[in-house]
Amino acid sequence: MSATPSELPAGVPASSDTQRTPRPNLMQIHVQSCPNEVAVRVRPHVRTMGSLIELAEGSARKLDGWIERNGWAGYDPYDVRAHPIFMKRDPSVVEKVLRGTLSRLEYRAPLLLRKFLGVEKAINAKAMGLFAKGYLDLYRALQDDRYLTKAQEAIDWLDQNRSNGYSGACWGYPFDWQSRVFIPKATPSSVVSSIAGNAHWAFYKLTGDRRYLDTCRDICEFFTTDLNIYRIDDSRICFSYTPIDHFRVNNANLFVAEFLIKVGQELGREEFQQLGLEAANYTLSEQNADGSICYWGGERGEDGHIDHYHSGFELRSLHSISRLTGEERIRAATRRYYRFYLDNLFADRTLPKFTPRSTYPINIHSCAEALLCCATLSADFEEGTRYLINAARWTIENMQDESGHFYYLRTDRRVNRTPYVRWGQAWMLNALGTFLELYGRTM
C-alpha cells in the first residue's frame, strides 16, 4: 500500500471550510457507566474527553496497521449475495433449501462460506472514498505524512476507477445487488458517488487544487443528468439511488442535495443550488411528527423503516445544508431529528441501537455513525457530546480486535468478528479521523 502522493503545497493553510467552530470545554465531562446487558471491557481512566482522544489516537493507529497489512481489498456483507445461488429469481424448492442452508452457514462461518463459493476480495469505491477522507483527517489532526500518502493513494484509485459511460464522474459497488430491482456490478450509485465526492471536496479545500473541484463538478453533472429525478411539485424533487431505479430513498436524496448545494455555491452554479434545495425540501416534507425521517420516501411513522446509520446520514446532510443555506427552518428540523436520534437510537446514552425498537445487533456501521453524527453536530447541538464520549469509548473497547480491525457486530449472545473492509474498517477509520480532526487539536 505504499505510494508516492502527488505534490501538495508545503504548509497548506486552512481554508475557510476548515476553520473551526469554537468547541465547549469538555475536559470535565464524564462518561456514563456501561449498561449491564453487554459484557464490556472498561478502563477506569477513560473518563474525560482528553483521555478519550488518547484512546482514539491509539485505536486509529491500530486500525491503520491492520489496513496496511491487509491492503485495500476485502470482503463485504453483501458480496456473497451476488452469487447465482442467491440472485436467481423464482428458485426451486431444492434451491430454496440450499439457499437457507448457505445463509445459516454465512451466519456461523462467513469467511468459510466465501471461500467455498469462490467469492473473492475486492476493492470497494465507497471504502476508498471513506479511506481518502479518513486518512486526510488523520493527517490534519496528527500531522503524520504517512496518512497523507495513504489519502492520496486512495483518491488516486478513485480517479482511475470511475464507472464508464455516464455524463460525469461516478462510482458503484464491485458486485451485483438485488434491491427492489436488480442493480448490476459497477452501476453508479448516488451514495457511493457522493462519498467519493466528499473525499475530493476535502482534498480541494485542503490544497486549493482545482482538479479536485473539477471532479466535484463532474459528479454534480452525473447527479443532475444521469439520475432519475422524481418531481413532486414546483419546490420538491427526489433523486433516484442509481440511473436504473426510480427509488425515493431519503438518505441518498440528501447526500445528493448537500453535495449539489456546496459545490454549486463554490462554482456559482445556481442550478445546482436550486436542485439541491428542492431535494432537501422533499425530504423535509417527509419528516414525521416525532422528528424522525424514514428510509423510504412515502413511508410514515411506525410503518416506515428507521435505523441508526441511515438516520445519521440524513442528520449530517441536513446539518450541513442548514449551515450552507442559513435557513432556520432546516436548522429547526435538524434539531428535532437529532433529539429523536439521541432519545431513540442509543441505549443508556451509550450503545448505538440498531433501530428504535431493537438494541441488537450492535452493528459496527451504527457505531461508526454514532461517532460521526455526534462529533459533527456537537458544535451546534452540545447535548450529543455525552453520547459521543460514551459511544466512542464503548466502541473502541468492545468492538476492536487486538489485531486492529473492528468486529462486524455483536448480539446479546455472540460476536461476529468478520473484518469487513467497507462496512467496518473504512467507516471506522473515517469516524476516528473526523473525531480526531474536530477535537484532537483543540485540547
Mean of the pLDDT values across residues 149-172?
Answer: 97
What average pLDDT score do residues 87-98 get? 83
The pLDDT value recorded for residue 301 is 60
- Selected residue with higher pLDDT from 3 and 348: 348
Cell of 377: 453536530
Does the pLDDT value for residue 87 go beyond 90? no
For residues 210-229, average pLDDT: 98
Q: Does residue 431 or residue 442 have the better pLDDT?
A: 431
CA 52, distance to chain mean position in Å, is 22
- Tell me: pLDDT of 143 over 60: yes
- CA distances for 191 relative to 126, 165, 168, angstroms: 8, 18, 15
15-33: per-residue pLDDT in tens? 333 344 444 333 333 333 3
Tell me phi and psi for residue 215, to 5 degrees.
Answer: -65, -40
* Section 115-124 average pLDDT: 95
- Which domains are assigned to the chain? 24-439 (1.50.10.10)
pLDDT at residue 325, rounded to an integer:
98
User: Which value, to the nearest 10 degrees, does the dihedral of the CA atoms of residues 344, 395, 134, 313 take?
Assistant: -10
pLDDT digits (tens, 9 = 90+) for 362-391: 999 999 999 999 999 998 999 999 999 999
Residue 6 scores a pLDDT above 80? no
Residue type, 150: K
How many CA atoms are closer than 13 Å to the CA of 10, on its beta-carbon side?
0
CB neighbour list of residue 138: distance below 8 Å, 6 or more residues apart: 60, 64, 144, 147, 429, 432, 433, 436, 437
- Mean pLDDT on 104-112: 90
**Cβ-count burial of 150 within 10 angstroms (0-12 exposed, 13-18 middle, 19+ buried)?**
buried
Q: Residue 41 above 60 pLDDT?
A: no
Is 337 within 8 Å of 314 (Cβ atoms)? Answer: yes
